[in-house]
Chain A
Amino acid sequence: MRILNKKGAEKLFSIWWFFVLAIVGGGITIGVLMHYSADIDVRYLESDILYDKINDCLVNQGFLINGLITKTVDIFNKCNLEKSLFEEEGDFYFKIEISDKDNKQIFSNDEKQVFTEEKDVGLTNGEEIDKKFSDLDRVKKAIKEKNSACAPYADRIVESSNKYGIDSLLILSLMMQESNCKKDASSESQIFGFEQGASYGLMQINGKNECGKHGLDSDKEKCKNELFNNPELNIEIGVKILKSKYNDFGGKVTEEKLLSCEKCCHDSNYIKKYASYTGDSLALRGYNGWGCGKNADTNFVENVRGRYNELGGSILTSNFETECKIQEENEDGEKIEAKYFPKCTIKEENILYYESNEIKKGVIKIITASNQEGEKFMIK
């Protein structure tokens, strides 16, 4: 049998062989060149970093910095941002909107309208952002991630949060710090009983101070029973007490006031520390008491704050990967597309802010975008 003859050998080097090699070689070369000369897209990363930068410098522990709403603060200067890259070159963009609790806008740094096309949000059918990320979702998410024992109380936390205007995650953090979400938690011991100020239940309500109030029975045992077995009431009382502590010492505490208070700590180091608290921190300190003795938790505020941050702080929404379109008015008053930023970050966060010497609740929305393209250059 003949395997190959002269003709067969010639077939190996036929025109088709060269054709196949050319196709394979050309395809691989073009593919490789395209792959390695393509830009690595970091625009979304940049817009995310820009968001963090702006948020960190404008919001401090849930409080909006003073002077932003009244526009006495230069955001570029305050946040160390190079103005020319934003205003002249247009490589980066940010828009800050602040609304009060009734959703009325009280501040915007830019009148341009930003239209967003959300992609792959992973949530339900086109509902409003605030509905998608309701308070209950935040609390449930935090509980799922950190402490499932708190799960039965999520609804009540949110109800109390809405009723008293206190961040639900702060209530959850406080509850976790006080009882680790155990409804029968008690600080009572042989030497520290009801009369000495022992605390009971989820929010560790002080029996001696609170029994006979808030609908609790004045009988010691009955009151303790209610505090253990009625967790809804326990949470309600705890949040009510926390709310009342916002106004302790007129919303601000001075070293002199602490020194003049009989039950308060008189150690100069702790007095300085306690006097530095404001807002949420002041209320938390008041909730735990102003003492600094053996049984006092002098780091209570920091511990609750730590838990609060772990639970996601006051982040209301998660970040969206979106396409942003920004419009502005031209000379004829017509709205035109100002710039197309293919990648942007939008986040909302609950905040507290001062207005007319009052602490108010609001929401800050920050939109950040990057459209920077790198620059390849050749030396001739």
Chain B
Amino acid sequence: MEKIDIFRLNNKKSESLIYPAVIFIILNILFFSILLLFVFKSSSGALVYEQVYAKQIAIIIDRAKPNMEISIDFSEGIKIAKKNKLSEEQLKEIVKINPEENKVTVSLSHKGGYSFKYFPDYFVSSDFKENQLILNIKEKEVENENSE
């Protein structure tokens, strides 16, 4: 009895039929994988998180009252910053709060960042404790008196 090898193409005709089909399928899979990767990269990119964090921090400050200490989970932001190869020194500077301009700036890459303003006239300082961003809210006058 003749032995049948299912993985062996029997003649040139069948070869010419099956190879284009396989290549066609592989190319399609490749194409959609690249698209999926692009969508995933976009959704977890620095651009999105910079805006989300900047607005979130500004709104938290808007809602806050003097003498509050607020802790925000910043683990996702730190993960993205590390992925973007920010140094340890730069990691400490990913969130900047400028009380003079009432502005929160978040920068998770070397390319740029996002700024958003808060309206209360508070002195806000920020610091990182592990993956937590700690905000300290104080009245501006009190801060000035202390510094004097």
Determine if A85 and B102 form an interchain contact, defined as CB atoms under 8 angstroms apart: yes
State how many angstroms separate the Cβ of A115 from the closest Cβ of chain B: 23
Tally of A-B Cβ pairs under 8 angstroms: 102
| Alpha-carbon gap, A374 to B139, bound state (A) | 24
Chain A residue total in the interface (Cβ 8 A): 43
Is A190 an interface residue when CB atoms closer than 8 A count as contact?
A: no
Interface string of A275-310 (1 = CB under 8 A from B): 000000000000000000000000000000000000
B11 to chain A, nearest CB (A): 14
With the chains together, A92 CA to B119 CA distance in Å? 8
**A80-B121, A85-B119 known; A374+B114 contact, CB < 8 A:** yes
Residue A4 at the B interface, CB < 8 A?
yes
Do A81 and B121 contact each other (CB < 8 Å), given the known contacts A39-B51, A374-B114, A376-B114? Answer: yes
Which chain A residue has the least Cβ–Cβ distance from B43?
A36
| A367 → B minimal CB distance (Å) | 15
- Nearest-CB residue, chain A, relative to B103: A375
Say yes or no: A12-B20 contact (C-beta < 8 A), given A42-B59, A49-B62, A81-B120. yes
Min CB distance A163 to B, Å, is 39
Evaluate contact between B59 and A46: CB separation under 8 angstroms.
yes
Question: Which of A6, A29, A32 is most buried by chain B, counting CB atoms within 10 A of its CB?
Answer: A32
A13 contacts partner chain B, Cβ-Cβ < 8 Å: yes
Q: Are B111 and A372 in contact (CB under 8 A)?
A: no
Taking the closest CB of chain B, its distance from the CB of A57, in whole angstroms, is: 10
Inter-subunit contact A9/B52 (CB<8 Å): no
With contact pairs A9-B16, A372-B117 given, residues A377 and B112 touching in the complex (Cβ less than 8 Å): yes
**B114 pairs with A82, CB closer than 8 A:** no
> In the complex, which of the residues B24, B42, B47, B114 contacts A13, with contact meaning CB atoms closer than 8 Å?
B24
CB nearest neighbor in B for A378: B112
B114 proximity list for chain A (CB < 8 A): 374-377
Tell me the minimal C-beta distance from A328 to chain B in angstroms: 21
Pairwise interchain contact B55-A376, C-beta atoms closer than 8 A = no
Interface residues of A in 158-179 (CB under 8 A from B): none
Q: Which 5 A-B pairs have the closest CB atoms?
A: A378-B112, A9-B20, A375-B115, A82-B121, A12-B24
Query: Can you list 24 residue pairs at the A/B interface with Cβ under 8 Å?
Result: A9-B16, A21-B31, A25-B35, A36-B47, A39-B51, A40-B55, A42-B59, A49-B59, A49-B63, A50-B119, A76-B121, A80-B120, A80-B122, A80-B139, A81-B119, A82-B102, A83-B121, A85-B102, A374-B114, A374-B115, A374-B116, A376-B47, A377-B114, A379-B113
Additional 10 contacts, C-beta under 8 A, given A32-B38, A378-B111, A379-B111:
A3-B17, A25-B31, A32-B43, A33-B42, A49-B63, A50-B119, A53-B119, A80-B120, A85-B102, A376-B112
